[in-house]
Structure 1
Amino acid sequence: MTYRFIILPILLLSLAACAPVIMNGEVTSDQGFDLGKAEISASKRPEFKAYTVKAYLPDETEFKGEIKYYEKSVVLYSNDGVSMKCEFTLNDQEKKFEGGGTGSCTTSDGQKLKVKF
């Protein structure tokens, strides 16, 4: 019976640590036209000391990639071969993405994305 009181809090804390950090932003074309809202999420992968990063653009293109804890940039790839490079500025290096920050991304076809988290 006491195991339930110990295991449940540990399980809940573990799930909270893996919750994705959501970054909302705006996408513009290479000519500066507003293309709509986008979302990027970073999910912590402690076993690899990395985050899995996913981005969803307004045209429903999905990009995926992985960034190590101490890196500040990542290249994400879509299923159709488009790439997107993102540079992040973190508010707190110790807290990583969970501490908030900003990001700037550019796709290989010229779209630009600014995010805040």
Structure 2
Amino acid sequence: MVYRFLVLTILMLSLAACAPVIMNGEVTSDNGDNLGPVEMSAFKQRGLKTYTVKAQLPDETVFSGEMKFNEKSVTLFSHDGLSMNCDFKLKNPAQEFEGGGTGTCTTSDGQKLKVKF
């Protein structure tokens, strides 16, 4: 019984450690029109010093890419050839994305994103 509890506790803690960091924000056009909310997340790759960053815009375009620890910017790509450059400001750099912060991104077609996490 104690063994099962220990295994279950370790499993739950490891799943919590793998949870993505959710970033909430808005997308605006290049002329400042609000285009709606963005769904963005950073997922820490277990055992590696990288995050997988993913963003879905209101028009359902999905961007994704890899970002190494201690970097503050990343270029993401969509399946149809668009790119998006993102710069992040972390509240506590030692805690990476898990410590919270803000981000700004610009797509290759001029859309701008601002996110908080």
Normalising by the residue count of structure 1, what TM-score does the alignment of the two structures yield?
0.96
For 2:97 and 2:58, how far apart are their aligned partners in 1? 23
User: Who is 1:92 aligned against?
Assistant: 92
In the aligned structure 2, how far is the partner of 1:37 from the partner of 1:14? Answer: 30
Equivalent-residue separation in structure 1 for 2:30 and 2:48 (angstroms)? 35
Q: Which residue does the alignment assign to 2:102? A: 102
Residue 43 of structure 1: aligned partner: 43
Superposition map of 1:13-32 within 5 A = 13-32=13-32
Whichever residue aligns with residue 67 of structure 1, its letter is M
- Consecutive unaligned residues in structure 2, runs of 5 or more: none
- What secondary structure does 1:19 align onto? coil
Structure 1 CA distance, aligned partners of 2:4 and 2:95? 30
- The 5-angstrom pairing of residues 42-81 of structure 1 reads 42-81=42-81
- CA distance in 1 between partners of 2:70 and 2:87 (Å): 12
Root-mean-square deviation over aligned CA pairs = 0.9
Superposed CA offset, 1:3-31 (max 9, x none): 21221111111100110110011111111
2: CA distance, partners of 1:50 / 1:4: 32
SS in 1 for 2:47: helix
How many residues align? The count is: 117
Unmatched runs of 5 consecutive residues or more in structure 1 = none
Aligned to 1:114: 114
Runs of 4+ that moved beyond 2 A:
none
